[in-house]
Chain A
Amino acid sequence: MKTAYDLLIEKLSMQAGLKKIPLNGAFELTSRCNFNCKMCYIHNPSRDKSVVDRELTADQWIRLATDARDAGMLNLVLTGGEIFLRSDIEYIYETLSRMGFKIILYTNGSLIDETKAKWLGRIPPTSMEITLYGASAETYEKLCGNAAGYEGTIRAVDMLLAEGINLELKMTVTYDNMNDMEQIAEFSYKRGLPLTIVDYLYPQMACGTLENCRLNAEDMVDFLKRYFSVIGKLRETYSTGELPKQTLERAARMVEDMERLDQDFDKDSGQSAFTCKAGSSSFWVTWEGIMVPCGMMTEPTVNILETDFRTAWDKLTKGLLDIPACSECMECDSRNICDVCPAKLKTETGYYDRPAPYLCELARISREKQEQSGDKTN
């Protein structure tokens, strides 16, 4: 059940999509990371000065945020690389935290010590999303080249919880960590934290050779089935109970508003290639200052150092109109269970309008397994 807050965010998001307002921004503050994860596409060395020199400065990020706020940005993700590697992260975050945004921090958590946790507890973000790469130092070493990262991250989660910070956990599934899932899920549920499984790796995130890292379609479908079974059991064990009546009533009112917006949205979206908010109400700015629709798209691009924010956003939204939809995907019987998007098609096939065999295989096997389990229950 969604809360009134979730629904208000969704309502704003739909209104923003209709009016092409850049409600959601992601600032990739750095490409440097203290981990060297096999599947990560952005992990330059921590102390590489030549990389530091190319990063936007703190004041450039703050100026960008000011312009984005004036254009309507509410939700701001700060991501990397690892954001806590920036020596000026406190200045950047403290300034942004007073500007009127809902801020979400993406981090691997390992650099958060007690001082940082207390600092964040004083001026908390809306939430922090911490990725757990495994459930042991061995898995962290194998996948991220940083055995100590495991203990550091676990400690950080508990310190941040002690400061009352909203946390969400993520797990990116690879062959190296897939067997740690049960322990990660239990860790999350014991602490009452939501866990998101990142179950799709873009080809550029796939460890050099796809087969060594990204689960093949059959293994992924089996993994997800196992995951759903695990969280089903954990939910029963660690249930947090029902939401208050007042929350449910507010949510119901919001649903009515959204149904009205939905009708407008359907009329507006037509045959767009995009089912997400990229380029209609969301944008991403890379560590070097390039605005793109999302972190996985390489076009259209606008250099925000060469123009003002509104012009950049305008160019981005117009540029997306040139991206063709995959008509074969749109007519596919499995569309409702296929998480296809232009970014995935482009990186999988080199084209926006050609089906990607990996996604087709995922959808086909998911459907088959669903039908098999349906047959068994009938």
Chain B
Amino acid sequence: MKIKDNLILREIAGSWIIVPVAEMVVEFNGLMNLNETGAFLWKKLAEGAEFEDLVSGLLSEYDVDEETARADVQEFISQLQEKGLLQQ
């Protein structure tokens, strides 16, 4: 599970935004707004984290039970897949 190249996470005016740049604009010419948790997961993914790493990351960073953490990670990954932002 790896984020595609040319996607930049930026914090702008208090919002976390994924900005596609250069060649990636061909595939995704928009913006993606992430909440605080989404930005946390994105940074972990960018560091090479896998699904289980993301779940354990959420558990250690936030006051959340494992079931909720798994569901949140799954939803986040699904959204990225839906937008085509992950490498196959």
A interface list, Cβ under 8 A from B: 5, 8-9, 11-12, 15-16, 19, 21, 23, 72, 74, 94, 97-102, 121-126, 164, 166
Within 8 A of A (CB), among B13-67: 13-15, 17, 19, 21-23, 25-26, 29-31, 33
Pick from B15, B19, B23, B26: contact of A102, CB under 8 Å? B19
Contact, CB under 8 Å: A12 / B19: no
| B12 partner, pick from A12, A97, A98, A126, beta carbons under 8 A | A12
Q: How far is the CA of A97 from the CA of B19 in the complex (A)?
A: 11
Decide if the interface of chain A is mainly helix, strand, loop or mixed: loop
* B30–A74 CB distance below 8 A: no
Q: Are A19 and B22 in contact (CB under 8 A)?
A: no
> Cα distance A220–B25 when bound, in Å?
38
Q: Are A102 and B31 in contact (CB under 8 A)?
A: yes
**Other-chain residue from A9, A94, A166 in contact with B29 (beta carbon distance below 8 A):** A166
* Nearest CB of A to B21, in Å: 5
- Residues of A contacting B13 with CB < 8 Å? 12, 15-16, 19, 21, 23, 72
List chain B residues, Cβ under 8 A from A126: 25, 29
Q: Are B15 and A15 in contact (CB under 8 A)?
A: yes
A8-B31, A74-B19, A101-B19 known; A124 vs B14 contact (CB < 8 Å): no
A120: shortest Cβ distance to chain B, in Å? 10
Contact check, A100 vs B23: say whether CB atoms are below 8 A apart: no
Known: A74-B17, A126-B29. 15 other contacts (CB 8 A): A5-B31, A8-B33, A11-B15, A15-B14, A16-B13, A19-B13, A21-B12, A74-B10, A98-B6, A98-B21, A100-B8, A100-B21, A123-B22, A124-B26, A164-B26
Q: Which residues does chain A contribute within 8 Å of B21, judged by CB atoms?
A: 97-101
Cα A108 to Cα B31 with chains together (Å): 27
A8 vs B19: C-alpha distance in the bound complex, in angstroms? 12
Query: Is the Cβ of B25 less than 8 Å from the Cβ of A123?
Result: yes
Q: What separation, in Å, do the CA atoms of A100 and B10 have in the docked complex?
A: 8
Distance A87 CA – B3 CA, assembled complex (angstroms): 35
| Also in contact, A12 and B23, with CB within 8 A (given A5-B30, A5-B31, A100-B10) | no
A101 / chain B contacts, CB cutoff of 8 Å: 19, 21
Top 3 A-B pairs ranked by shortest CB distance? Answer: A15-B13, A100-B8, A16-B13
Task: State how many angstroms separate the Cβ of B85 from the closest Cβ of chain A.
Answer: 15
Look across to chain A and name the residue whose beta carbon is closest to the beta carbon of B26. Answer: A124
The answer on a CB contact under 8 Å between B29 and A19 is no
Q: Name which residue of chain B comes closest to A15, CB basis.
A: B13
In the complex, A97→B29 CA distance in Å? 12
A123–B13 CA distance with the chains assembled, in angstroms: 26
Residue of A nearest to B6 (CB): A98
A123-B31 in contact (CB<8A): no
A352–B19 Cα distance when bound, in Å, is: 38
Q: Determine whether the beta carbon of B12 is less than 8 Å from that of A74.
A: yes
Please pick, from B12, B19, B25, B30, the residue contacting A125 in the complex, using a CB distance under 8 A: B25
Q: Complex formed: what's the CA distance from A80 to B6 in Å?
A: 27
B17, B19, B25: the one within 8 Å of A124 (CB): B25
Chain B residues near A5 (CB-CB < 8 A): 30-31
Judge whether B10 and A97 touch: CB under 8 Å: no
Interfacial chain A residues near B12, Cβ < 8 Å = 12, 16, 21, 23, 72, 74
Decide: A123 and B23 in contact? CB cutoff 8 A. yes
Which residues of the other chain, A, contact B6 by a CB distance below 8 angstroms?
Answer: 98
Q: Which residue of B lies closest to A164 (CB)?
A: B26
B14 proximity list for chain A (CB < 8 A): 15, 19
